[in-house]
Amino acid sequence: MNWRSIQAIYIFEMARTFRTIGQSILSPVLSTVLYFVVFGSAIGSRINAVEGISYGAFIVPGLIMLTLLQQSVANASFGIYFPKFIGTIYELLSAPVSFIEIVIGYVGAAATKAVMIALIILATSSFFVDLHILHPVWMLAFLLLTAISFALLGFIIGIWAKNFEQLQLVPLLMITPLVFLGGAFYSASMLPTFWATVTHFNPVFYLISGFRWSFYGVADVPVGLSLAAVSLFLAACLAMVWWIFRTGWRLRQ
């Protein structure tokens, strides 16, 4: 394993974040705070509690997961797409660097940035509501597994995209709707039977349920099922990335 090449890619990607700190960090944090103020104040004033938890505190895991998924996909997809766009991807592919090292560098940086923003939002939320994290180790585990999984998805999207429009298409039409319909702002028990059943076909639902369990010990599905869903998605993304580098799909065109 060439750790120096991984370090070079990782440091380069992290440096890009701090060069654009307003866009990379402040913007998602402020957007999430705005969600929190609107939903927590406007809707929370009409909902006393959800499963014994104040509504403002109940939506915190969902808001963190929304930002985590968006940032993981966005950072990883742009990180690998931009070298394709300017043509430097060929220098990277011809360098003595394996595809595993490339993936670790880009995906590791994207996941780090997403987790960093998620933790900032978590700290910010504590100023609005009383937060009690019952299982901090599991919370970090869910954060890391989810960030890595969706950073891998973003990496795949960045390779697939042929232009900036396609780069934004999947996050806009898939990630945000899945999070909103995955129980970020409500519990599945609040839905009619039919829609509660439909919600169980949403993969993000299991991520949010498991992440909320790590905070309050309550979940819409067993936590083991949530872990299995994250692990299965991670394995599928790893298999797809392996196939891309094995075949050179969208990389050597």
Residue 236 in domain: yes
Structural domain includes residue 87 = yes
Query: Does 252 fall in a domain?
Result: no
Range of the domain at 176: 3-247
Q: Provide DSSP, 186-233.
A: S-GGGS-HHHHHHHTT-HHHHHHHHHHHHHHS--SS-HHHHHHHHHHH
What's the domain count of the chain? 1
Q: Does residue 196 sit within a domain?
A: yes
Reference 223, options 114, 139, 133; nearest CA is 139
Q: What are 185-203's pLDDT values in tens digits?
A: 889 888 888 888 889 999 9
What whole-number distance in Å separates Cα of residue 242 and Cα of residue 253? 18
For 138-175, write each residue's pLDDT tens digit: 999 999 999 999 999 999 999 999 888 888 887 788 88
Rounded-to-integer distance, Cα 160 and Cα 148, Å? 18
Indicate if the pLDDT at residue 124 is higher than 90.
Answer: no
Dump pLDDT digits (tens) for 25-43: 778 778 877 877 777 666 7
Residue 2's pLDDT band, with cuts at 50, 70 and 90, is: confident
Residue at 217 is within a domain: yes
Could you tell me if residue 209 is inside a domain? yes
Instruction: Check whether 45 has a pLDDT greater than 70.
Output: no
- Asked if residue 154 belongs to a domain, the reply is yes
- List 53's β-bridge partners, or say none: 50
- pLDDT tens profile 201-232: 999 999 999 999 999 999 999 999 999 999 99
Predicted TM-score (pTM) of the model is: 0.92
Considering the domain boundaries, does residue 253 fall inside one?
no
Q: What DSSP character marks residue 133? A: -
pLDDT tens digits, 64-114: 999 999 999 999 999 999 998 888 888 888 888 899 999 999 999 999 999
